[in-house]
Structure 1
Amino acid sequence: MSNVREFNTVPDGHPSVESPLAWSYQQQHTGIVLREKALLGHLVLRGGAIVLDEAVRATLGISLPAKPNALAFDDSGERSIQWLSPDEWLVIVPGGEEFALENALRHALGDAHYGIVNASGGQTVLTLSGENARDVLMKSTPYDVHPNAFLVGKGVTTVFAKATVVLRRPSETHWELVVRRSFADYCYRWLLDASAEYGIDTQ
C-alpha cells in the first residue's frame, strides 16, 4: 500500500457542496400548478331566486349570488354557490355531503316549484395557479380573463379549447374549471400541452 496516495475529497469545515445536477435543477421553472379537486358534491338548482335563497341560507348559511356570473363561498371556502343563469345555480360541497344537502333542501323547499339535480358523478374541478396561469387561459378560451374584466368572485360558462367549461376565479391566485366528466381527460391533456412552455407541476 506504500505506492497508493489517498486524498480526502471532503475538506475540513463542512463547506457547502453541490450535486452534479445543481445547475439543471436551477433551470427548472414551474409557471403552472395544475390540480384536481376530485369527487366533490355538485348540485344544480333550478327555480325562483327568492324561494331558493331562503332554503339555501337555511341549509348552507350562504345566500344565492344575486348578480349574474357571481360566485359565493362559505367561511371555510369549501362550499360554493355560482350563478349560472337567471333561474339556475351550481352548488359545490365536499364529497359525501351532497345527498344530505339535497334532502335538506327538498325539506326546506316543501311544495315550491323547483328542481335539484345531483351532477356529482358527471363533473370534476381542475384548479390552475402559478404566474403563467392567465397566459394558459388566454391560449385556451376566447373569454376575457384580464383582471379588470374577470374579477375575483366571478364565474362564467364558456368555450375552452373545443369543450365547454365553467370557469371561475375564487381568489387572486387561483382559477377553477368545472369540467364535464366526458371532457375531463381532453381538458387535462390540453392544459398539459398549453402549459409545457412555462413548466408545469401536476403533483
Structure 2
Amino acid sequence: MNNTNVQARRHSPAEHLWADFEAGSVAGERGVSLREVPFQVMVGLRVDPLSDAGQRMGAVTGGLPATAGQVTTAPSGNGGAGISTLWLAPDEFLVVGLEEGVPGTLAASLVAALGDGAGQAIELSSNRTTFELSGPSARAVLEKSCAADLHPRSFATGTAITTEITKIPTILWKTGDDSFLIFPRSSFADYLGRWFLDGMREFASGGAPWR
C-alpha cells in the first residue's frame, strides 16, 4: 500500500466532532473558535542538549530549548510552517511538525543525528492529537479547568507548558495573544473536545457562527 492510500484512510481522533466544533465556534468580541489540527508529525526526544548528540539533534530542529517553557522553531525548507521543539524537561523535548507529513521521516532524521550518542528519538505522531482554541474568549474557556496560571504575566505568548485541563494531562502552547495549541493524548480527544464545546457555550449568546 503506497503512502497516498495510507494518508487517504487515516482518521483523526476527533474527526467525528469536526461539525460540532464548527457549529460551536462563534465570532465577535466574546468569540472563541475550536478546531482539530490533525496528523501533525511528533517526535519525542531525550538527550542532553549540551552534549555532542544534543548539538547534532539541535541542528535538525533549529536548536533545542534551553529553559522551561521555551519553544524553538526551524523554518520549513519548502516554505511551510516548519518544525517547533517544545521544552518538557531539562533533557526531554517534543518536536512538532506544524504541517501534515509522513510519520517516521522526521524521527529517522533525528535518530541519524543521534548516532551512537546517549539519548533517544521516538516517533509519537499517533500518540497525541492537536486542538487549536482561539479568539478573545479562548483563555476564559481554558481557565475553567486548567491547573496553570494563564494570565499573560505568567504565561507569555510563545511559551509551552505541561499542565492538566479538566484533570487530563496535556501540553499547552500559547501561540498568540488569543490562540492556543493543546496536545492531549489521542485517547482523551473525544472527552476533551466535548469539554471544550461545553465550556464555549456561554460565549455563544449573541454571537455569530465563526467563519
Q: Give the TM-score of the pair, scaled to structure 2.
A: 0.76
Following TM superposition, the consecutive aligned residue runs of length 4 or more in structure 1 with deviations greater than 3 angstroms are 27-30, 75-78, 200-203
Q: 1:118 Cα deviation (Å)?
A: 1.0
Q: Which residue of 2 aligns with 1:173?
A: 178
State whether residues 67 and 90 of structure 2, in contact with CA within 8 Å, keep that contact through their aligned partners in structure 1.
no
Match of 1:120 in 2: 125
Aligned residue for 1:56?
A: 57
* 2:150 aligned residue (139, 145, 148): 145
Aligned partners of 1:74 and 1:164: how far apart in 2? 27
From the superposition, tell whether residues 105 and 195 of structure 1 become closer, same or farther in structure 2 (CA, over 3 Å): same
Cα deviation, residue 195, structure 1: 0.5
User: Offset at 1:108?
Assistant: 1.8
Other-structure match for 2:86 = 82
Q: Aligned pair in 2 of structure 1 residues 109, 190: CA closer, same or farther (>3 Å)?
A: same
Q: SS of 2:113's equivalent?
A: helix
Q: 2:43–2:121: 8 Å Cα contact kept in structure 1?
A: yes
Aligned residues: 176
Match of 1:92 in 2: 96
Q: State the distance in 1 between where 2:132 and 2:152 align.
A: 17
Query: What residue number does 1:37 align with?
Result: 37
Deviations 1:146-187 (A, max 9, x none): 011100111111110021110111222311100101111100
1:178-197 equivalent positions in 2, closer than 5 A: 178-197=183-202
How far did 1:96 drift? 2.4
Q: Does the CA contact (< 8 Å) of 1:35 and 1:202 recur in 2?
A: no
Please, which runs of 5 or more residues in structure 2 have no aligned partner?
Answer: 1-25
Counterpart amino acid of 2:112?
H
Q: 1:101: Cα distance to partner?
A: 1.8
The alpha-carbon deviation at position 98 of structure 1 amounts to 4.2
Instruction: Please state how far the C-alpha of 1:36 moved relative to its aligned partner.
Output: 0.9
Task: Rate the CA distance shift 1:47–1:53 in 2: closer, same or farther, 3 A.
Answer: closer
CA distance in 1 between partners of 2:86 and 2:125 (Å): 15
Q: What is the identity percentage for the equivalent residue pairs of Structure 1 and Structure 2?
A: 32
Retained in 2: the 8 A contact 1:71–1:170? no
1:80 to partner: Cα distance: 0.8
The Cα shift of 1:109 comes to 1.7
Change (3 A) 1:181 1:49: same
Cα-Cα RMSD? 2.2
Change (3 A) 1:195 1:78: farther
Match of 2:106 among 91, 101, 115: 101
Give 1:17's aligned residue: none
What is the distance in 2 between the residues matched to 1:71 and 1:56?
15
Distance 1:123 1:156 in 2: 15
Is the 1:69–1:154 contact (alpha carbons within 8 Å) kept by the matching residues of 2? yes
CA contact (8 A) 1:72 1:153 kept: no
Structure-1-length-normalised TM-score: 0.79
